[in-house]
Each structure stands twice: as structure tokens, then as C-alpha cells.
Amino acid sequence: MSKTLLINARIATMADPSSLGLLNNAGLLVDGDTIAWIGPMADGPDNADTQIINCGGRLITPGLIDCHTHLVYGGDRADEFEQRLEGMTYAEISRRGGGIRSTVTATREASEAELLNQSRPRIEQLLNEGVTTVEIKSGYGLDCENEIKMLRVARQVETEYSVRVMKTFLGAHALPEEYIDRADDYISLVCDQMLPQAHAEGLVDAVDVFIESIAFDLPQAQRVFETANALGLPIKAHVEQLSDMGGALLASEFDALSVDHIEYLSAEDVCGLADKNTVAVLLPGAFYVLRETQLPPIKALREQAVPIAIASDANPGSSPLNSILMTMNMACTLFSLTPVEALRGVTINAARALGLESSHGSLEPGKQADIVIWDLNKPSLLAYQIGINPCSGVMQAGQWRKPFKEGAV
Ligand code: NIG
Ligand code: FE
């Protein structure tokens, strides 16, 4: 029997342009890997040949999407955590050769199997919280062999855990030590060898660049974006995280899927994003960990109707955060997002940030059956509670990853 009918649920469809698209006392029919029907129970489909599951009034949402992570990496950076507590800044640590570069050393030393093992608790935590799609970036290899190694591990995560993994090439994340004072030469390596080789292995869904004083400048980023364009790959960018470099506008000129971080993005530049369908991805974990005080331009983003997504940014330096639920809470508490915006930020808008909105991110007939059943009856509880995981059933592409057990709420 390949059909499953979920009945007696509160369904946040996320199919409405500004709300949760909430349906009370509703049902949802899954046929194979696809949503076949969704609507009020009174209009429910014929039950023949269908397994019926009573959700007992529980909340159903689309599978959650973490659209920005660096969760494959070697080692840890707990020492830098201590240095920052003593007053050193993230940028200072980076300029002294620590930061991303120290993770590059640990990642280069690790085998594929070791990287996969170190990544397991991180991905498993996200999956336990109802994540069905996760983006994973390279960016700690910074040479052909090691960037490709990281992306292969991301692909192994996908195969082994049956989760959708979107793989992003971030070769232009930092300047590796062997290229000090030769950033343009490194960008040539990225454009002429690293990216084409990773792409030829089928390992690249999108291309990202870190545009910042401690990373790459606009002309260097432009060369990477032009290469991505020529290969037919969409782009994303880490921009205006520590300063306003004008990276968001450059990225949006290349029709970026998303611009990420954006604490230092000016309200004027938000207007430039608005025409382009580029998603603003907010990363409250990095804001929190770096004890940033500059808030992203939320008001301007709302006024210009720029879609807002949120993500964990799971990484060993600026955001050792491996919880999508905590990310939602942080986005509300630190950035004053509403719980509705937070849920849109990890579903439909996160799907947009990955170019997946036609098949993922909302519960609509024809979309992939990625579904979470929560032991909750109110959507705002998802962002409100801290340290509780109410996820009680997860279906990925029509298959139960975490089977739901019927019982009253
Ligand atoms: O998204 N900003 C650049 N990249 C990561 C941090 C990487 C690291 O510190 O290891 C970020 O914050
Ligand atoms: Fe990041």
C-alpha cells in the first residue's frame, strides 16, 4: 500500500504568500513520494487502498530546511571561543592565521571517513528536529583535493541518511596559507580548476563566496560568479557580515539565490535586492556567538518584501549551532522575527534560497511529501520553546524516517 492519509491534523501548509496557510481539522494524502491531496477532512478522498493515520489534532508542517550550513569539517575551535571571551575579535583571530584557516588544517588532515564520523552528531541532531533538506558547503579544503573531499562527504551524508543535501562549493571562503599575498592567483585556481573539477564530479548545486575584508573583494568575487554563470550554476554569497562591502548588490546582479548574514547591509541596498527575487538569509547563531550588535535591516527587508530565510550556519567558528529549532528561537529573540516569519524562514523561504521552491518548502499537491508531525497544537510553540524537541514523526519523500505513533495530544 503506497498511499497514506494523515487525518485530524492542524496543517501549516506554508502555501500562502504571507501567512502559515493554516488548515484546521485537515487531512493530507501521500501517494508514493508526493502529496496527492490536502484539505479539510470533510472533503477528504476515498479511503480505499490507503493507510489512515490519526494525528490527534497535532500540528503538521513541511519538512524543515536548513539552507546554510558548514557542517562537514574537521576538529573544533573551542580555543578561539575562549580567546573571544577574553576580548579578541573574530577578525583579529582570523588575521593572526586562526579562524577558518585553523579548520582548514584539521579538515585537510582528516580522511573522508573521519570527516563523515565527525559530521554525524551534527546532521543527526538536525534530522531529529524535523530537517528534511540541508545545505552543506565546502570551504575548509581550499585546494582541489580537499574541497572535493568535503563535497564527497556531503554526498555521503545524503546517501547514508536519506536526507536531501544541497551541496555548495565555497572554495572562495578564505585565502589558504600557501597563497598569502597572492589572492588573485588563488581565485584563478578556484575558477580554472577547483570549481570545474568539483562540478564535473556532479558535486556542485550552487557556488558561494565570502566577500569581506578578511576574505575576498568584489572583483575577486565577480570572477567566481562569472565562472559559476558560465557553468550554469546558481550563486549565493556571504556578505556584509562584518562590514558593508557592497557584496549583496554584486551578488544580486548575478541573480543570486540568496545573500547571507547581511548585518551591515544598508537599507538602500535592500531595494536593489527586492527586484531580483534574491532571498535574505539571516544567521542568528553567528550574530549570537560573535556577540554582534549591528542588526540586519529587518524593517527594510519587510518593507521591500524581500523573502527572509533563517539558517543555523552550523560551523566550528562563528556558529557551533546544530539546532534548527534553536535557530528559530534566536531569530525571534535577537532579530524580532515573528514566529510566522521564523517558520517561513525554515520552510518555503529556505526552499527559495536553495532554488527548490517548486518541489519543496510547502505542503501542496504535487510537491514532495516531506512532512513533520509535531507534538504541539500551536505553530508559535515551535519558536517559543527552548531545549524541547516536539518532533514526533518525519516523512521524507513519502517514507517514514521517524515513524509517527498514534496517541492523543
Ligand atoms: O558563515 N563568514 C564566513 N564563514 C562562516 C564562518 C566560518 C568559520 O568561522 O569557520 C560563517 O560565519
Ligand atoms: Fe556561513
What separation in Å is there between the alpha carbon of 174 and the centre of ligand 2?
12
State mean pLDDT over 209-237: 98
Q: Indicate whether 366 and 326 sit together in one domain.
A: no
Same domain, 137 and 284: yes
**Could you tell me if 75 and 179 lie in one domain?**
yes
Asked whether residue 81 falls in the same domain as residue 23, the answer is no
Question: Mean pLDDT over all residues of the chain?
Answer: 96
pLDDT grade, residue 140 (50/70/90)? very high
Same domain, 167 and 136: yes
- CATH code, 92: 3.20.20.140
> Which CATH number characterizes residue 51's domain?
2.30.40.10
Q: Is the same domain home to 20 and 45? A: yes
Q: For residue 2, is pLDDT > 90?
A: no
Q: Is the dihedral of CA 323, 325, 328, 330 positive or negative?
A: negative
Q: Which atom of ligand 1 is nearest to the CA of 212?
A: 2
Pocket test for ligand 1, best of 89, 310, 313, 327 (most atoms within 8 A of CB): 313
Do 168 and 209 fall into the same domain? yes
Confidence band of 409 (pLDDT split at 50, 70, 90): low
The pLDDT value given to residue 1 = 55
Q: Does the predicted TM-score (pTM) go above 0.75?
A: yes
Looking at the predicted structure, is the pLDDT value of residue 46 above 90?
no
Residue type, 92: E
CB of 286 within 6 A of ligand 1: the answer is yes
The reported pLDDT for the residue numbered 97 is 87
* Structural domain contains residue 409: no
**Residue partners of 373: CB distance under 8 A and separation at least 6:** 6, 9, 55, 58, 59, 60, 391, 392, 393, 394, 404
The ligand placed nearest to the CA atom of residue 76 is 1
Q: What percent of the chain has pLDDT over 90?
A: 93
Residue 152 within any structural domain of the chain: yes
Q: Which of 331, 338, 353, 286 is nearest to 313 (CA)?
A: 286
- With CA atoms as reference, report the closest residue to 187 among 212, 217, 161: 217
Shared-domain flag, residues 165 and 227: yes
**Residue 323 Cα to ligand 2 middle (Å):** 15
Question: Could you report the per-residue pLDDT of 249-306, keeping only the tens digit for each?
Answer: 999 999 999 999 999 999 999 998 998 989 999 999 999 999 999 999 999 999 999 9
Q: Tell me: pLDDT of 401 over 80.
A: yes
Ligand 1 atom nearest the C-alpha of 313 is 1
Which domain covers residue 200, as residue numbers?
64-353
CA of 337 to the centre of ligand 1 (A): 23
Task: Say if 408 falls within a structural domain.
Answer: no
Are both 317 and 367 inside the same structural domain?
A: no
For the segment 106-130, what is each residue's pLDDT rounded down to a tens digit?
A: 999 999 999 999 999 999 999 999 9
Compare 23 and 272 and report the one with higher pLDDT.
23
